[in-house]
Amino acid sequence: MKTIFTKGKIKAVVTTVGENEILIDDEMEKFGYDEKSLKRLKKSAKLHSRYIAKEGICTSDLCVNSAEYLFNNYDIKREDIDGLIFVTQSPDYKMPSTAIIMQDRLKLPITTIAFDVNLGCSGFVYGLYMAHSFINSGAKNILVALGDVNRYFCGEEDKIITPLMGDAGSVVLISNEENKSYFSLYSDGSGYEHLIVPAGGCRNSLNENTNKATLREDGGIRSDENLYMNGREIFNFAIKRVPLLIEEILDFSNTDKENIDYFLLHQANAYILQNIQRKLGVTPDKVPSKSVEIYGNQNSASISGIINGFLNEEVQNQKLEIVCAGFGIGLSWGGFKTTIENIFAPKILKGVSND
């Protein structure tokens, strides 16, 4: 689906990551890497470090920390927030919606629309699409909260996916101002089994066997309650779909590739990002990829993580044309082209404040 919104400006982006920095070298023994495989991971996937939250910290805590920083340091009043959209795969509870609990924690008015969206890697784009929809229906300000704490679905000893993942919680403020944005969204459920937590829903409920971690065919140690990824299928999906998506958005918005300052892509891993960058035919500096190397794959918060982690000076002081693209679990993918200018974007916050 393609949509043009005439209203909706990104006014602020704040990201909090877990306070514990974990170096890939320190996890060599834990995941059973030898020197050769570790060197290969560092070279191809550019694995260096990741930040994870301490025990007991939920995604909502990271997002609330980001939101409190926003309210304390930016000119936006809590009573002027009309909606809170929480995009996550690690909610506080199965029921009720975590966004409604966050509405109370953040002291937002009871007139606030608040709901959860169960999406991961494409969640930044889908969340902002919904925010723009509300804005173009008359809302003043929508707060999109995004992120995950990955210990709740990643196997502790799973060397296939766990070393890639980092914990983060972002908030993005969208306000009712004139600004054109071009969105394109897709989904293909035929590939749902390639990125999945097999047990825990109504289709395959929890039992005495679902939490037993065993060695799997791909070499990972995990249970059916942990996330499984078919790496080859996800790579092929990303390389096939994302460059075409971006080309479509450029054509849809009648924008030349050379006029885009940054292509901000979901930070799946450095190898995927490099291949997409080459297919697009743009220089590496236009496709930032350092975030996944330093902070890990932050799921729906990975694009906001790029902004706060590596581009905060530029976005706060310049007018930029950007294309964002998210892709992954579902399978789902989507992107948008928009203009950002002098937005509030502090450096990444590390850990939840005790204040």
Contact 98, 88 (CB under 8 A): yes
Contact 221, 213 (CB under 8 A): yes
pLDDT at residue number 307 = 98
Q: Give, in degrees to the nearest 5, the angle at Cα 107 between 106 and 108.
A: 90
pLDDT at residue number 34 = 82
Distance CA 127, CA 326 (A): 11
pLDDT at residue number 173 = 98
Which positions are annotated as active-site residues? 121, 266, 297
Hey, what amino acid is at 175? S
- Look up tokens 């509405």; give the residue: 103
Tens-binned pLDDT, residue by residue, of the chain (355 aa): 999 999 999 999 999 999 999 999 898 888 888 888 888 888 877 889 999 999 999 999 999 999 999 999 999 999 999 999 999 999 999 999 999 999 999 999 999 999 999 999 999 999 999 999 999 999 999 999 999 999 999 999 999 999 999 999 999 999 999 999 999 999 999 999 999 999 999 999 999 999 999 999 999 999 999 999 999 999 999 999 999 999 999 999 999 999 999 999 999 999 999 999 999 999 999 999 999 999 999 999 999 999 999 999 999 999 999 999 999 999 999 999 999 999 999 999 999 987 5
pLDDT at residue number 31 = 86
Distance CA 231, CA 177 (A): 41
Contact 200, 206 (CB under 8 A): yes
pLDDT at residue number 57 = 97
Structure tokens at 286: 């236009």
Total-model pTM = 0.96
Of 28, 262, 24, 13, give the one whose Cα is nearest residue 146.
Answer: 13
Contact 85, 99 (CB under 8 A): yes
Q: In 26-171, which ranges are continuous DSSP H helix?
A: 35-44, 59-73, 98-105, 123-135
- Look up tokens 């909610």; give the residue: 91
Domains and CATH numbers, the chain: 1-355 (3.40.47.10)
